[in-house]
């Protein structure tokens, strides 16, 4: 219950608290012999610096914040975040930095949380995910001067770090693959149109379709939920010139699509190839297993944390590119049906 303070260490070592502080922080000002003695005592007593005291004088909170702005229901299904967080953690805990989490419904609440955290000096920096094309959080972050790293494409004046994957190349490779399989009518079921990466992927898809001369690109926008994924799929498959392949922006919608195809009597992959945009265990749990774009989300989190810590440390904002997601082919894609 009683805390060990540097005062106690100082007493036992027969020096002042200042000396102890220098010794424990590896700064010059004490002899090697004294330092060793102090470290030994600190270790024996199990001393740990009081975060509050350290923050108060050092003005560092030793925590970073992650605000997840999504309806709780959609968060649950996405296996993405847990892996991402695990990755963040991996880097942060090594640097003795805590991760403060906030789950809110929308960006207005996120902005509130950011302001509060920063005002209270609860965090030293932020991880920003689910970037919108018009994002209410960015002006606030700029205004406050909070170190932040975007889990997404670089943005703004370079004050923020960024870690992202090349979605364009990933979409390209998907379309190329489907075209090689003989598909000519390829559609895309996209996620939230407000999201930055949705736009990038849609643009990439359009460009790829046009490049292959497949006519007017067909894209349906959704909110990422299974319901909308099913609705979009139903709409696409009800047309006389229905697509023979559909790309989905996440795996939940791709799974929903499997059910719609079944309900409409359209065999997968015989008459319809389904391609999921995220690869999670969900993809291998369903039948047919889903071909998906897969990448290392934990590494994504780890690198994000690393860039943020550097930024907090005063080093320049880096922009790190992850390895491009690669297509993991499973049972949901096949050659286009003849005719």
- What residues make contact with a second copy under the rule CB under 8 A? 1, 3, 46, 48-53, 55-56, 61, 63, 72-73, 75-83, 85-87, 89, 93, 98-104, 113, 116-117, 119-122, 145, 226, 252, 255-256, 258-259, 262, 280-282, 284-287, 298
CB-based burial, 11-38: b 16+ in 10 Å, e otherwise? ebbebeeebbbbbbeeeeebeeebbebb
| Binding partner of 17, given DNA, a second copy, none, CB within 5-8 angstroms per partner class | DNA
Residue 122 binding partner per list DNA, a second copy, none, with a CB distance cut-off of 5 to 8 Å that depends on partner kind = a second copy
Interacting partner of 19 out of a second copy, DNA, none (Cβ under 5 to 8 A depending on kind): DNA
- 86 three-state secondary structure: helix
Which residue number, 152 or 301, has a Cβ lying nearer to a second copy? Answer: 301
For a second copy, give the closer residue by CB, 102 or 319: 102
Quote the least distance from Cβ 218 to a second copy, whole Å.
24
Nearest-approach distance from CB 249 to a second copy, in angstroms: 16
SS3 content of the chain, % helix, strand, coil (to 5): 45, 15, 40
- How deeply is 112 buried, as exposed, middle or buried, from its count of CB atoms within 10 A (0-12, 13-18, 19+)? middle
Nearer to a second copy, 85 or 175 (CB): 85
- Decide which of DNA, a second copy, none touches 24; Cβ closer than 5 to 8 Å per partner kind: DNA
Distance of closest approach, residue 117 Cβ to a second copy, in angstroms:
8
For residues 256 and 254, what is the distance between their CA atoms, to the nearest angstrom?
5
Helix H or strand E encompassing 125: strand 125-128
318 CB-near residues (< 8 Å, 6+ apart): 161, 307, 310, 311
In the complex, least distance from residue 91 CB atom to DNA, rounded to whole angstroms: 22
5 touches which of DNA, a second copy, none (CB within 5 to 8 A by kind)? Answer: DNA
Name 250's Cβ contacts closer than 8 Å, sequence gap at least 6.
Answer: 78, 191, 224, 276, 277, 278
Q: Which does 93 bind (CB under 5 to 8 A by kind): DNA, a second copy, none?
A: a second copy
Q: Which does 7 bind (CB under 5 to 8 A by kind): a second copy, DNA, none?
A: DNA
> Which distant-in-sequence residues (6+ apart) come within 8 Å of 52 by Cβ?
none
Nearest residue (CB) to DNA, 56 versus 133: 56
**Sequential DSSP letters for 216-234:** S-EEEE--S-HHHHHHHHH
- Site residues, DNA (CB under 7 A): 3-7, 14-19, 21-22, 24-25, 27-35, 47-50, 52-54, 56-59
What number of other Cβ atoms are within 10 A of residue 283's Cβ?
A: 21
Give the residue with the Cβ less far from a second copy, 121 or 211.
121
Min dist. Cβ of residue 41 to DNA (A): 13
Least Å from the CB of residue 27 to DNA: 7
Token readout for 40 is 């030994």
Answer for the pair 309, 95: CB distance below 8 angstroms, yes or no. Answer: yes
Report the b/e string of 78-101 with b at 16+ CB within 10 A: bbbbebbbebbbebbeeeebbbee
Nearer to a second copy, 215 or 270 (CB): 270
Report the nearest approach of DNA to the CB of residue 307 (Å). Answer: 24
């Amino acid at each position: 219950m009683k805390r060990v303070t540097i005062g106690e260490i100082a007493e036992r070592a027969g020096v002042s608290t200042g000396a102890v502080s220098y010794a424990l922080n590896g700064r010059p000002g004490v002899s090697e012999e004294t330092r060793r003695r102090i470290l030994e005592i600190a270790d024996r007593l199990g001393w740990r610096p009081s975060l509050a005291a350290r923050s108060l004088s050092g003005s560092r909170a030793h925590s970073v914040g992650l605000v997840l702005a999504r309806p709780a229901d959609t968060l649950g299904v996405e296996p993405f975040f847990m892996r991402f967080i695990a990755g963040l953690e991996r880097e942060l805990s090594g640097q003795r930095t805590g991760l403060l989490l906030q789950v809110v419904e929308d960006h207005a609440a996120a902005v509130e949380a950011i302001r509060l955290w920063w005002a209270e000096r609860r965090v030293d920096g932020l991880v920003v995910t689910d970037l919108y094309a018009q994002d209410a959080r960015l002006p606030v972050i700029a205004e406050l001067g909070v170190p932040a790293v975007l889990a997404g494409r670089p943005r703004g004046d370079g004050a923020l770090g960024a870690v992202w994957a090349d979605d364009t190349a990933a979409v390209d490779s998907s379309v190329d693959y489907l075209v090689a399989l003989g598909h000519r009518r390829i559609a895309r079921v996209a996620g939230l149109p407000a999201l930055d990466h949705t736009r990038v992927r849609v643009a990439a898809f359009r460009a790829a379709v046009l490049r292959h001369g497949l006519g007017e690109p067909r894209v349906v926008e959704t909110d990422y939920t299974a319901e909308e994924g099913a609705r979009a799929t139903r709409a696409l498959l009800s047309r006389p010139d229905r697509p023979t392949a559909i790309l989905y922006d996440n795996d939940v919608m791709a799974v929903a699509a499997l059910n719609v195809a079944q309900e409409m009597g359209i065999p997968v992959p015989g008459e319809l190839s389904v391609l999921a945009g995220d690869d999670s265990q969900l993809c291998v749990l369903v039948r047919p297993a889903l071909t998906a774009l897969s990448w290392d989300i934990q590494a994504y989190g780890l690198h994000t944390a690393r860039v943020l810590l550097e930024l907090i440390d005063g080093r320049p904002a880096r922009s790190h590119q992850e390895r491009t997601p690669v297509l993991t082919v499973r049972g949901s894609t096949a050659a286009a049906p003849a005719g």
